[in-house]
Chain A
Amino acid sequence: MLKVMMKDLIMNRNALVANLFIMAAVLVFICSWEEGAPVGTYAFFSGIMMAFVPIMIVTREDKFKAMALGCSLPVTRETIVRSRYLLSTGFAVMGILLAFVLAALVPSSRLSATELFRPETFLRALSVTTILIALLLPFTLRFGALGLILVMAAFQVLGIVALTMVKLTRSSADKAFVDSIVQAVGNLYTRLGSVGFDLLLAALLAAVLLASYGLSVWIFRRREL
């Protein structure tokens, strides 16, 4: 498995470095925001960005049609998928920590290290990354870059449909439904900080990632190249 991870790192080294620089610039902008971005917002954006690092590895592989190369090497497809998930988790943890270090060190940052380096802030970012990876990796492993576009487009359509429903029907039930989702997510995050809830969330994220991994293995074993 280490060989597959090393292959991915070597083949994507330049793209990874370039992307990390771009991400760092965006993160510096967010943490230096004059209006003062709350630490939760910063964690949220860090989480989103780090999720796209492993996705980029798969979309680049798709761009160069290099999946056939990987799958012709003496390694099982399950190992390829497992290494992608491990690499993704590694990137997520390291990337989020680096994003926090960046915000703590940049002189123009409005965020303090004490705010950033809390388990709940880290979990907030990690939950965003994990859910995005769990959702996007099976699609990108099956459809490549198209899978990424499909998921994004589905989200856009879902958002447009929800807003249109609320506007057209003027139904308080629709609005209440959307509000309740937003409130539920908000409530979840307000509970962060208690050890029990943090552990429960961490376990839940691990379970989501595991389920996504199982689905990806099932998909990738059947993919024809």
Chain B
Amino acid sequence: MTDQALQVSGLRKTFKGFTLNDVSFSLPKGYVMGLVGPNGAGKTTIIKLIMNLIAPEAGEIKILGLDNRKQGVEARARIGFVYDVMPFYADVSLRDTKRAIAPFYPKWNDALFQELASSFDLPLEKKVKRLSQGMRTKFALALALSHDAELLVLDEPTTGLDPVFRRELLHGLSGLLQDEGKSVLFSTHITSDLERVADYVTFIRNGSILLTETREVLREVWGVVRGEEASVAILDSKLWRGFRRYPHGMDILTSDASAARRALGDGVVVERASFEDIVVLLDGGEVHHA
């Protein structure tokens, strides 16, 4: 029995003009990981690799201890998935789509599906093409949550959702984890989503992982040094993890706020780093050493 819901190690995949390079991270059971990065960073590629929709050139993925290529069927039976654009048949009703998909899952719970469909206001008789993007995501979520999946893999699940439902969804995900010990990997570029639910944050840019860390460490240990360039740039570059220059100053992201405070003294502001700070500053400068 493994205590890891997901283990990704040494993953490599090359496309024309893009390489996913030596990607490794792991998600313990019962936690939520936010996979964050700009468009084209490789988030969807990682999710496709996890779901075995594409094959890696190197590396290994274990889902709940199962090799996702050799034991793919057993692994996928325990995954609930939501893609950014759900590949449903547009001219088929939600009810028929559910009828076609449900038999694949041994633990399908139809009563739970009906309950979720009702709470999401899903019009089951309507065809998929009559639904908005948000409603399609809700339908995909209802399917993903109705077969007792132990790992939820969600690719941009909050895109296209209205703010009210987005918040409900994120609360729902947290509740699900507290009640049932499920794990969630979700990709997003909305940092406020991370603040709400992510226990772990993995930041990816240009196909490489720049950071994979717990929320506690990011909140307690990381910081942002703000000030005029002349006064903040004297900080030992070993403490820098990213930076951005502005017309009247500079922000430096550091993975050791205490050390930065000690080094710079009281004259310089070292703030706690928000997730948005981390994402923006990691994406801004070129300093990413661990």
| Residues of chain A at the chain B interface (Cβ within 8 Å) | 3, 6-7, 10-15, 60, 64-69, 71-76, 222, 224-225
Cα–Cα, bound, A69→B97 (Å): 11
Spot the interface stretch: B69-77, B177-185, B198-206, B213-221. Answer: B69-77
Q: Which of A10, A15, A76 contacts B72 (CB 8 A)?
A: A76
Contact check, B89 vs A11: say whether CB atoms are below 8 A apart. Answer: yes
B91 interface residue per 8 A CB criterion: yes
User: 1/0 contact trace for B84-95 toward A, CB 8 Å?
Assistant: 011111111000
Closest to B92 in A: A11
Cα–Cα, bound, A41→B29 (Å): 64
Q: Give the interface centre of A6, A65, A74, A222 by most chain B CB atoms within 10 Å.
A: A74
Q: In the complex, what's the smallest C-beta–C-beta distance from B13 to chain A, in angstroms? A: 9
Contact check, B104 vs A10: say whether CB atoms are below 8 A apart. Answer: no
Closest to A10 in B: B100
Cα–Cα, bound, A7→B51 (Å): 20
Contact check, A225 vs B48: say whether CB atoms are below 8 A apart. Answer: yes
B96 interface residue per 8 A CB criterion: yes
A11 touching B100 in the complex, CB below 8 Å, given contacts A64-B89, A69-B88, A72-B51? yes
Contact check, A64 vs B104: say whether CB atoms are below 8 A apart. Answer: no
Contact check, A76 vs B73: say whether CB atoms are below 8 A apart. Answer: yes
B25 interface residue per 8 A CB criterion: no
| Residues of chain B at the chain A interface (Cβ within 8 Å) | 48, 51-55, 72-77, 81, 83, 85-92, 96-97, 99-101, 103-105
Contact check, B103 vs A3: say whether CB atoms are below 8 A apart. Answer: yes
Contact check, B53 vs A10: say whether CB atoms are below 8 A apart. Answer: no
Q: In the complex, what's the smallest C-beta–C-beta distance from B182 to chain A, in angstroms? A: 17
Contact check, A72 vs B53: say whether CB atoms are below 8 A apart. Answer: yes
Closest to B153 in A: A72
List, in ascending order, chain B residues with CB within 8 A of A75's CB: 73, 76, 104
Q: In the complex, what's the smallest C-beta–C-beta distance from A65 to chain B, in angstroms? A: 5
Contact check, A74 vs B104: say whether CB atoms are below 8 A apart. Answer: yes
Contact check, B92 vs A10: say whether CB atoms are below 8 A apart. Answer: yes
List, in ascending order, chain A residues with CB within 8 A of B87's CB: 64-69
Closest to A2 in B: B103
Contact check, B77 vs A74: say whether CB atoms are below 8 A apart. Answer: yes
14 pairs, A vs B, C-beta closer than 8 Å: A3-B103, A7-B101, A10-B99, A11-B100, A13-B96, A15-B91, A65-B85, A68-B53, A69-B86, A72-B81, A74-B75, A74-B105, A222-B55, A225-B54
Cα–Cα, bound, A3→B54 (Å): 23
List, in ascending order, chain A residues with CB within 8 A of B51's CB: 71-72
Contact check, B83 vs A68: say whether CB atoms are below 8 A apart. Answer: yes
Q: Give the interface centre of A12, A72, A75 by most chain B CB atoms within 10 Å.
A: A72
Contact check, B90 vs A74: say whether CB atoms are below 8 A apart. Answer: no
